A = this chain, B = another copy of it.
Amino acid sequence: MSDTPLFEKITIIGMGLIGSSIARAARKGNLAGKIIAADIDADVCSRVKKLGIADAVMSDIKQSVAGSDLVVLCVPVGAFAEIGEEIGPALKSGAVVTDVGSVKKSIVEAFLPWVPDSCHFVPGHPIAGTEHSGPEAGFAELFEGRWCILTPGADTDIKAVEKVTKLWEGCGSLIEIMDPEHHDLVLAITSHLPHLIAYTIVGTADELGDDIKSEVIKFSASGFRDFTRIAASNPVMWRDVFLNNKDAVLEILQRFSEDLTALQKSIRRGDGKYLFDTFTRTRAIRREVIEQGQADYRAPGGVVQAGTPPVSQD
């Protein structure tokens, strides 16, 4: 933590879980001289004011970016064209804009046309979150030991990339640079498909009769509850993710469906060997996830321990 903040003035647009966590982390890490929080929702603005996590809070998005060195967009993926049109002309010359969207290719397409030549856009995606939404759900440590993927274009100003890198390192994150299309494919597997599956299975249970539904909830500790956690995530955010990463999601969903059909067939035929082999293979991946420090796990003694951060970034 240095005495001079990384940025004189930063604006965070969209004060939900992620936006409010960045505000808290920026204050904790002395990353910004001044933090401006903006949200189109007046109710959210008044809640952020009460939390006292920003120097100024406003619902006028255009006004909020005036004079800022760094603008961080924490809004749903579907809102970028509109936001770009609004803030593009108001950005300070030399300003760096970044975002936290879960999809990168469609955001670049929607937002980049609105960025003036004198400014820089460095798309980003912190791989961190909880199932809770809203400004109260945020906390300064959300990004600690977690990856943040940046997807700058080939011609993006290197100094702008460095600035955004320092922002995330200041929040405790590890940085990975990736191509937007590649990001969208990796995340389709690690994040978008798991969420779609979780939403589906919880939805399936929701359509059961009331009697059996109450039992499903009562005995949810047997596996189902892990899915309910994921399926409690922000519906607007996830609607936009699926609408904006359609091709990659449908491609990986197709593979998943084929594999599920194969397991279904093996159950119908009573093919124990196929089941055993599949269930054995999947154990190895869990071990790797734990070794890479990306899992919280319940130790044999029953104590929840946070995964240790990876020792290197490669």
Contacts and interface: CB of A to CB of B under 8 A. Distances in A.
Interface of A: 78, 102, 127-132, 136-139, 141-142, 146-147, 149, 176, 185-187, 189-208, 212, 215-233, 235-236, 238-240, 242-243, 246, 249-250, 252-253, 255-257, 259-260, 263-264, 267-268, 270, 272, 275-276, 278-289, 292, 294-298, 300-302, 304
Contact of A226 (B200, B230, B256): B230
Q: How many copies does the complex hold?
A: 2
A225 B289 contact: yes
B221 A127 contact: yes
Contacts of A235: 275-276, 279-280, 283
A263 B242 CA distance: 10
A70 to B, nearest CB: 24
Contacts of A260: 196-197, 200, 253, 257
A147 to B, nearest CB: 6
A217 B284 CA distance: 11
B190 A256 contact: no
B223 A263 contact: no
Contacts of A207: 255, 259
